[in-house]
Amino acid sequence: MDAISKTLLWLKHYRAWKSFAQHSGDRIRELMQELNLSPSPGAVRYDKVPGGKGSGDSVEEKHLERQQDTRALIDDLKARSRTARESTTLIELAISSLAPADKELITHRAIDGMTWTATAIRCGCGESYCRRRCKIIIKELAFILFPEQ
């Protein structure tokens, strides 16, 4: 994927990433609280029920497996949240380096998802100018975000 396509993709997903980064902390806290829960001592059994059929796991074993799964989910959420936060910060920094008119144009078109007509009205210029200028801005952002490509 070239830098321009990657930049367009990043701008398209910016709002979702920003929302995820803002709200993932709540989900991580909920999962941490869930980890602190433990089965009540009366419900825990360490071996099979006498006379029971089959070989079922004890409640404690099931609880430990759930804890391991929850810890893995927390670690995954933390990593994805960190990546989303870093990506949105990079996008924000790249956009902040643009001229004010270019910031407005790229924000309305790429991030807010406005139509070309609505973007042109908001920016106070013609639709064809917005289209041409947007291509130039995307190239600038691609160079800022992905200089190695």
User: pLDDT of 79-116, one tens digit each?
Assistant: 999 999 999 999 999 999 999 999 999 999 999 999 99
- The residue with tokens 């990657």 is 6
Give residue 39's pLDDT. Answer: 61
Tell me which residues of the chain have a pLDDT lower than 70: 38-59
Cα(88)–Cα(94) distance, rounded to whole angstroms? 10
- The residue with tokens 């380096």 is 97
Give residue 116's pLDDT. Answer: 94
Which residues, including other chains, have CB under 8 Å from residue 68's CB and lie 6 or more apart?
none
In the chain the first and final C-alpha atoms are separated, in Å, by: 10
pTM: 0.75
Cα(114)–Cα(134) distance, rounded to whole angstroms? 13
Cα(126)–Cα(133) distance, rounded to whole angstroms? 11
Cα(9)–Cα(24) distance, rounded to whole angstroms? 21
Q: Which two tokens stand for residue 89?
A: 């910060």
